Structure 1
Amino acid sequence: MDHLVLTVIAQDQPGLVERVAHCISEHGGNWLESRMSRMAGQFAGILRVDVPLDAHAGLLSALEALQAQGIRVQVAVGGADPVTVWRAIRLELVGNDRPGIVRDITRLLSSQGVNLESLNTEVVPAPMSGELLFQAQALLAVPQSVTLEQLQAHLETLADDLMVELKLQAED
Structure 2
Amino acid sequence: MKPSSASSSTSSAARAGNDNQLLIQALTSTSKSPLLALAKRIADAGCNLSESRVSTIGTEISLMLLASGAWDALAKLETALTKLARDESLRLVHYRTGPRENSSHLLPYLVEVVAADRPGIVARIVEFFTQHEISVEQLNSTRYHAMQTGAEMFQAQFTIGVPAEIHIAALRDDFLELCDGLNLDAIMDPVKF
Shared fold, TM over 0.5:
yes
| Equivalence for 1:113 | 133
| Equivalence for 1:53 | 71
Q: Deviations over 1:55-86 (max 9, x none)?
A: 23321121122222233132231333244511
Greater Cα shift, 127-136 or 67-76: 67-76
Distance 1:86 1:157 in 2: 23
Q: Deviation at 1:14?
A: 4.4
Q: Deviations over 1:81-125 (max 9, x none)?
A: 244511111111101111110011001011111111111111111
Report the TM-score when normalising by structure 2: 0.82
SS in 1 for 2:169: helix
Is the alpha carbon distance of 1:13 and 1:73 closer, same or farther for their aligned partners in structure 2, counting shifts above 3 Å?
Answer: farther
Equivalent in 8, 16, 29 of residue 47 of structure 2: 29
Distance 2:62 2:33 in 1: 14
Normalized per residue, which structure has more strand?
1
Aligned partner of 2:52: which letter?
S
| Equivalence for 1:90 | 110
| Equivalence for 1:149 | 169
What RMSD, in angstroms, separates the aligned Cα atoms of the two structures?
Answer: 1.7
- Name the larger-Rg structure: 2
Greater Cα shift, 119-128 or 71-80: 71-80
Flag as ranges the 4+ runs of structure 1 deviating above 6 A: none
| Equivalence for 1:135 | 155
Q: Deviation at 1:128?
A: 2.7
Aligned partner of 1:166: which letter?
A
Distance 1:123 1:83 in 2: 32
Distance 2:27 2:143 in 1: 22
Report the TM-score when normalising by structure 1: 0.91
SS in 2 for 1:13: helix
Aligned partner of 1:108: which letter?
F
Distance 1:26 1:146 in 2: 46
CA contact (8 A) 1:152 1:168 kept: yes
* 2:132 paired with 1:126: no
Aligned partner of 1:139: which letter?
T
Q: Deviation at 1:163?
A: 1.1
Is the alpha carbon distance of 1:122 and 1:113 closer, same or farther for their aligned partners in structure 2, counting shifts above 3 Å?
Answer: same
The structure showing larger relative contact order (alpha-carbon pairs under 8 Å, at least 6 residues apart) is 1
Percent identity over the alignment is 25
Q: Deviations over 1:113-163 (max 9, x none)?
A: 111111111111123321111101121111111122122122122212321
Q: Deviation at 1:171?
A: 2.1
